[in-house]
Amino acid sequence: MSDAKTLYTAKVHVTGGREGSATSDDGRLALKLATPGSPGQGTNPEQLFAAGWSACFEGAMAIAAKAKGVSLPADLAIDAEVELRHGEDGFALAARLNVHVPGVERETARQLIEAAHRTCPYSKAIKGNIDAVVALA
């Protein structure tokens, strides 16, 4: 990866772990963190990962669609599920994207999803590291 050009670097300062806060250096992100399932305000790392992966994946789908000459529908949507698990090996994540591509032929939508899963940086990062499924809903 030494020849890779950095396009963007996210810089976020976190204090207090799962019960703390996260703030980006540009001020666009400022949020309270909370343990999953806890009462009160705040989001958790699993929700943030679900949002990030979904947004990135949709962008990868747009690139794949453009390459195939396909127009994506305005109401394309992704429902993400990120599970925090605990077992004999300790804590782990599992994730699923349910991709809704209304108005696009199922086989074409499946091909776009497969191409996006091969190229999305988040999909690449988790490949072989966590249980992950991407499905056409």
Task: Convert the pLDDT of each residue in 20-29 to its tens digit.
Answer: 999 999 999 9
pLDDT over 60 at 1, yes or no: no
Residues 6+ apart with CB under 8 A from 20: 14, 32, 33
Topology of 43-134 in CATH?
GMP Synthetase; Chain A, domain 3 (3.30.300)
Q: What percent of the chain has pLDDT over 90?
A: 95
Beta-strand (E) ranges in the chain? 12-15, 21-24, 30-32, 77-87, 90-100, 131-136
How sure is the predictor about 50, in pLDDT bands with cuts at 50, 70 and 90? very high
In DSSP terms, which residues pair with 82 in a beta bridge?
95
Domain ranges of the chain: 1-42, 43-134
pTM of the model: 0.93
Tell me how far apart the alpha carbons of residues 137 and 106 are, in angstroms, rounded to a whole number. 10
Q: Which CATH number is associated with domain 1-42?
A: 2.20.25.10
